[in-house]
Amino acid sequence: MSKPLILVSNDDGITSKGIRVLVEAMQIIGEVVVVAPDSPQSGMGHAITIGDTLKLEKSVIFEDVEAFECSGTPADCVKIAKHYVLKDRTPDLVVSGINHGSNTSISVLYSGTMSAAIEAALEGLPAIGFSLCDYASDADFSHAVPYIIKLAKQTLQRGLPKGIALNVNFPPIQNEEIKGIKVCKQANAKWQEEFDERHDPYGRRYFWMAGNFVNFDKGTDNDQWAVNNNYISVVPCQYDLTSKSAMEIISKEWEW
Amino acid sequence: MSKPLILVSNDDGITSKGIRVLVEAMQIIGEVVVVAPDSPQSGMGHAITIGDTLKLEKSVIFEDVEAFECSGTPADCVKIAKHYVLKDRTPDLVVSGINHGSNTSISVLYSGTMSAAIEAALEGLPAIGFSLCDYASDADFSHAVPYIIKLAKQTLQRGLPKGIALNVNFPPIQNEEIKGIKVCKQANAKWQEEFDERHDPYGRRYFWMAGNFVNFDKGTDNDQWAVNNNYISVVPCQYDLTSKSAMEIISKEWEW
């Protein structure tokens, strides 16, 4: 039986430690092709490059792996991988990450890691975004690897429901052991922004956006609770944003 | 009674015709504050500016309107409007657009217009993104204005369910009349990309991404059908991406 074809991307860029760990894990179970951004793309959400050109260069950064670096966003990388690099080869799995930093709760909207996975899902491909709740560039991903392999293998074996990408977050490594995996919902939380106002050497005003994470969710059935309590969170994400309940309310109660 | 406070943003940039039409419509019903990108931000999805600075300048582009242009994305504009420009003033409504071009179906993911509205929704503010299915910079928005005013007034009066932003798309102006408004779901469609490979004068390869819209949805209950049939589509969008049905399947059927 031929090995499954696995496309790997990320948002921290092709030189990050997280993607290297993910590529090495995927090499254990399949044939790997990498198409990843040539520079960090954190916070790019589901941005795509329209009205501007894209560059794509072969990369020799990984041993024995077909790899490309792209000037675009994570969503661009998956698009150019699917429709140009791989063309007639359909990946059996698309994985993104391992992100340096959490993508729990509302961060899924801003996340380039998850936009790559969601872009793959809307192409009809089984897809997983992996993130570690540790922003350090030399973060320790070792505890995540066995779980990543297990999740990737199960996804290859069972597939995913149509239009679904998994958002997987790992707690940072600690003295205590990982307690297990929680399939759960996106926590109800948000970033509360503060704008740090400064002036450049020419007296012109500029800002740094600095966010504090605020968790409104008191439940135990969400991804933020899971990683805070040393569980791995798995949230199945959909790209259909329609709220059926709001549709019903608005259809019935509003004047049309 | 004091006038409602209405925040206006967009993704085509503060100089576009669409935002001017929207500002003028909102001036009829409320006090308007504009915070919009200083340059076009189409396709930016829910990108935010992290790891880089933001600029914010007063703009005199609109008569008798407090307006600012921001170097960031549409989501950045809403964040800096809420937490810096308006600070203790809470907008009663946030509107985004009018976008030059369709944001039906899957385009909602890539849309800067809708990311501004969704960012407002997650701040707990009633929010609507308006788009016209006409990409021309001098597009005719006149048929949309009465509906925009009606929808904005109803939203001010009734509010929106928590965490919901409306995605409103107008068909382009045609000889026939608008048939009415359809509250409907996001169509099941996607962009099928083609990468147009070229070489620059130095022989280096680059690409233009060119997408064809492919509609898989055969139903009549979706936004693409609505605008194709000269209805205005209204899709209530949520930012909680959790698929409850996929959660159930994966929880039960997978090995954990």
pLDDT of residue A1: 65
For residues B66 and B97, the answer to whether their CB atoms sit within 8 Å is no
Residue of chain B minimizing CA distance to A247 = B236
Which of B:66-95 have CB within 8 Å of A? Answer: 73, 75-76, 79-80, 82-84
Please, which residues have CB within 8 angstroms of residue B24's CB and are 6 or more apart in sequence?
none
Contact A184 B247 (CB under 8 A): yes
Please, which residues have CB within 8 angstroms of residue A78's CB and are 6 or more apart in sequence?
A7, A9, A35, A94, A116, A119, A120, A123
Note the pLDDT tens digit of each residue in A178-220: 999 999 999 999 999 999 999 999 999 999 999 899 999 999 9
Widest distance between CA atoms in chain A: 66
Does residue A202 sit in helix, strand or coil?
Answer: coil
Site from B232, B250, B253, B255 to mutate, A interface, most A CB atoms within 10 angstroms:
B250
pLDDT of residue A101: 97
Amino acid at B67: A
Please, which residues have CB within 8 angstroms of residue B1's CB and are 6 or more apart in sequence?
none
DSSP A43: T
Contact B45 A44 (CB under 8 A): yes
Site from A58, A118, A240 to mutate, B interface, most B CB atoms within 10 angstroms:
A240
HSE of A101, CA atoms in CB hemisphere, 13 A: 19
Mean of per-residue pLDDT scores for chain A: 96
Task: Determine if the pTM surpasses 0.90.
Answer: yes
Q: What is the mean pLDDT of residues B113-123?
A: 98
> How close B81 gets to chain A, by Cα (Å)?
10
pLDDT of residue A176: 76
Contact B109 A118 (CB under 8 A): yes
pLDDT of residue A161: 95
Q: What is the mean pLDDT of residues A36-55?
A: 94
**Packed helices B145-158 and B17-29: angle between N→C axes, nearest 10 degrees:** 50
Nearest partner of B93 among B74, B115, B121, B72, judged by Cα: B121
Site from B86, B149, B243 to mutate, A interface, most A CB atoms within 10 angstroms:
B243
* Residue A236 contacts B, CB cutoff 8 Å: yes
**Packed helices A145-158 and A17-29: angle between N→C axes, nearest 10 degrees:** 50
| pLDDT value at A107 more than 70 | yes
For residues B160 and B124, the answer to whether their CB atoms sit within 8 Å is no
Please, which residues have CB within 8 angstroms of residue B73's CB and are 6 or more apart in sequence?
A47, B11, B37, B41, B44, B47, B48, B49, B112, B115
Per DSSP, the residues of B124-171 read T--EEEEEES---TT---TTTHHHHHHHHHHHHHH---TTEEEEEEEP
The better pLDDT of the pair A174, B74 is held by B74
pLDDT of residue B134: 95
* Residue A189 contacts B, CB cutoff 8 Å: no
Q: What is the mean pLDDT of residues A225-241?
A: 97
Contact A45 B47 (CB under 8 A): yes
pLDDT of residue A45: 93
Note the pLDDT tens digit of each residue in B211-241: 899 999 999 999 999 999 999 999 999 999 9
Does residue B93 sit in helix, strand or coil?
Answer: strand
pLDDT of residue B1: 64
pLDDT of residue A95: 98
Q: Which of B47, B109, B236 sits opposite A243 (nearest CB)?
A: B236
Q: What is the mean pLDDT of residues A95-109?
A: 97
**Looking at A42-51, A95-104, A121-130, which range is the least confident one?**
A42-51
Contact B83 A192 (CB under 8 A): yes
CA–CA separation, B208 and A82 (whole Å): 15
What domains are defined for chain B? 5-186+219-253 (3.40.1210.10)
Mean of per-residue pLDDT scores for chain B: 96
ipTM of the complex: 0.94
| pLDDT value at A174 more than 90 | no
For residues B234 and B184, the answer to whether their CB atoms sit within 8 Å is yes
Compute, in degrees rounded to 10, the torsion defined by CA atoms A4, A62, A116, B245.
40
Q: Which of B54, B207, B251 sits opposite A80 (nearest CB)?
A: B207
